[in-house]
Amino acid sequence: MSQRHSQVGDGRFVRQYSYPETTVVAVDVGGAATVDTVDQTAIVVPEDGETFEFDLPGESVSATSNNGVVVVEVAA
């Protein structure tokens, strides 16, 4: 497993974990949020904040939001 950190425009940290068959991208949004993906971009709409987006390393397989953490799985 390899790990990489980056930031989106509003200072949120994006963590990327690469495994042999998948890559997982996680962002702590601090509360409830909705996530959607278009091509290689994730769009996050927090209930109490501004919409933001971040690039993905490929097409998403799944995207979920649970307990304030957005998780997007990308096929390797």
Residues 70-74, mean pLDDT to the nearest whole number: 96
Model pLDDT, residue 6: 74
Strand partners, 23: 18, 74
Q: How far apart are alpha carbons 53 and 2 in whole angstroms? A: 23
Classify domain 2-75 by CATH architecture: Sandwich (2.60)
Model pLDDT, residue 9: 60
Place of tokens 């963590």: 15
Q: How far apart are alpha carbons 6 and 13 in whole angstroms? A: 6
Query: Which has more pLDDT, 5 or 67?
Result: 67
Residues 36-49, mean pLDDT to the nearest whole number: 92
Residues 33-62, mean pLDDT to the nearest whole number: 93
**Domain coordinates of the chain in residue numbers?**
2-75
Could you give the count of Cα atoms lying within 13 Å of 42 in the half-sphere of its Cβ?
A: 28
Given a contact cutoff of 8 angstroms between Cβ atoms, the answer to whether 8 and 27 are in contact is yes
